[in-house]
Amino acid sequence: MSSSAPLADTLADSCQRSIKRAAQALLESQKPEGFWWGDLTADTTLESDYILLQLWMHPPVDGVWNPPTRPLIDKAVRAILWRQNDDGGFWIYPAGPSEISASVKAYFALKLAGVSVTDPRMQRLRDCILNLGGIQRANSYVKINLSLFNLYPREHAPTVPPELMLLGKVIYEMSSWTRAIVIPLSIVQSAGARPAPAGFDLAEIFAPGVPLAFPNNEGFFSWRNFFITADKIFKRWERKGLPGIRQRAMKRAEAWMLEHTKDSEGLGAIYPSMMYVIMALQCLGYPDDHPEIIEAQRQFDRLMVNDGERFFFQPCFSPVWDSAIVAYALGEAGIAPPDAMARCADWILSKEVRKKGDWSIKRPNVQPGGWYFEFANEFYPDIDDTAMVLLGLHHARSENSVAQQAAVRRAIDWLLAMQGSDGGWAAFDVDNNWQFLNDVPFADHNAMLDPTCPDITGRVMEALSLYGVRGNHPAIRKGADYLRRTQEADGSWYGRWGVDYIYGTFLALRGLRAAGESDREAHILRAGEWLRAIQNADGGWGESCESYAQNGYVAGPSTASQTAWAILGLIASGDTDSGSLQKGVEYLIAHQRTDGRWEEPYATGTGFPRVFYLTYHLYRDSFPLLALATFHKSHGLGRGDLAQ
């Protein structure tokens, strides 16, 4: 679909104006240090877990719960109730249906915080939970958390044994985020239950007739059955096992946890593991004034947004990620002041990983390089972030060019070393794909593993190609083969870290184009046709998080970021002049606000598919700029046109 047709003057002019407004808005939001950083929001489970943490940290006295953090708890209650669905339940993505685990967490937190069970909002919530199958249908982490206060039967909550630390390198066959969660959690669970307030229980949300036992629809000879049996053995071990072995496992878990909090803004720099670290340190007897407790609490509290108008928790911070995307978008537009780009480059270079982390267990002879997602997370450089940073640094140039070139070289070498045996790239680890671990009872957060995925693979291929790793390089050839193999029958690609098939398709197409794939190939043509076929009537593109649950594309209202992804995908497929493409560009232009930004009320980022979704508040601005700039360039309109 390569075009020689001239772009209509009116659309060209409108596109140029839109690019300039978008670029100016982003430049105005740059931090003095040189980075960009947008809010990262999720669902009510974070505020609900905050209230649970307060019960753990401040147990009832004589059965009465009177925590010193009551003003913050009250704010959390208001933040939870503000997002209640009409049916009483709570969603895990904006405008989504009520979900059982989020709803159970909310009920526990609201009731604990003092909202009366006779309150109509609580009555509707209780009815919703029962209609969804009751507390028994909540996921394993909800059950584990509630069992810590004897609010769910311990014998029916999965065991997370610290003895995992004694099984060689088994913990490194779990995803990085899973091991960061389960290791401190194993310490917490081993300590036994703490009291709930006198008379407090959740009996009213247990559905009659629904079994408490772990669900198991497989035959006797299955991994699921094996792990359920192992769970029973671990429970018996907790009561009758050798205390010396348990003590040794606890020591190893403690040492691992403390080591991994160094050079990071909390363990794994993510909310769940940071919360469990606070709880684990208390279990281990650390006094409240101990430096480890103080630092863990400080890092956790930084996730709180409490500015007088808003109260919510961010699941983590995204400054490196945000900065890299914005730098690349501004660079492609070609109108960012050099000093702004230099400040960004200097800041990004200061965040380069220079020590070996968990990834080195499988790559012990590889030198560290690359970047993480947050302000500090030295143990966990992120393959996706590293590729995106390389794209951003292509335009953002530090005055110290020697240092930048060295960092880029290290990152390229690290990315090449982190390619999986199947030809793809994952997020943090190599060949983290022991599929049978998905049958462990506490694996229902749907993220036990970190397998390769098309979206990261496409971005890595694009970044490597930009720096001279061409299509005949073995890594690029294997990556291209991987993408051809993982294409869906309808022509799309799955997106693990963005919602969903639109995201995966745009990145796979950009990776294949960068690798030199012809846009006449059948798989490229199918992908372009799929993108045109799913366009909304308003000219934009949108996809619901429900796609993950249905294992296929589910349409959603048009969003700025997903429309931008579709435009970028179409252009990468060789389409520069179709009516679909131009309508998509017109959609972005028409929906841009006067301040140069876009509205986007929906989640287009993915944490754990089917479990946890993310709204990146800079996606709505950075990706449209990138799409418009790419469209502008695809018609031979250079940077000089934008500078006028």
Task: Output the six-digit token pair for 323.
Answer: 């900065």
Q: Which residues are catalytic?
A: 384
80-99 pLDDT, tens digit per residue, is 999 999 999 999 999 999 99
User: Would you call 314 helix, strand, or coil by DSSP?
Assistant: coil
Contact 569, 604 (CB under 8 A): no
Say yes or no to pLDDT of 235 above 90.
Answer: no
How far apart are alpha carbons 508 and 493 in whole angstroms? Answer: 7
Section 531-535 average pLDDT: 98
281-295 pLDDT, tens digit per residue, is 999 999 999 999 999
Domains of the chain in start order, with CATH, are 43-150+194-212 (1.50.10.20)
CA distances from 78 to 47, 67, 242, 312, 398 (A): 10, 17, 47, 10, 45
Residue 444's pLDDT band (cuts 50, 70, 90):
confident
Nearest to 269 by CA among 323, 212, 339, 316: 316
pLDDT for 3: 42
Section 251-263 average pLDDT: 97
Say yes or no to pLDDT of 439 above 90.
Answer: no
Which are the contacts of 18, defined by CB distance < 8 A and separation ≥ 6? 588, 589, 592, 628
User: Would you call 330 helix, strand, or coil by DSSP?
Assistant: helix
How far apart are alpha carbons 416 and 387 in whole angstroms? Answer: 11
Quote the strand ranges of 276-434, DSSP E.
304-306, 311-313
Contact 40, 70 (CB under 8 A): no
Nearest to 543 by CA among 525, 563, 518, 567: 563
Say yes or no to pLDDT of 512 above 50.
Answer: yes
Phi, psi of 597 (to 5 degrees): -105, 175
Q: What is the DSSP letter of 40?
A: E
Average pLDDT of the residues of the chain: 94
Q: What is the DSSP letter of 442?
A: G
Which are the contacts of 581, defined by CB distance < 8 A and separation ≥ 6? 567, 570, 571, 575, 631
Residue 309's pLDDT band (cuts 50, 70, 90):
confident
Say yes or no to pLDDT of 265 above 80.
Answer: yes
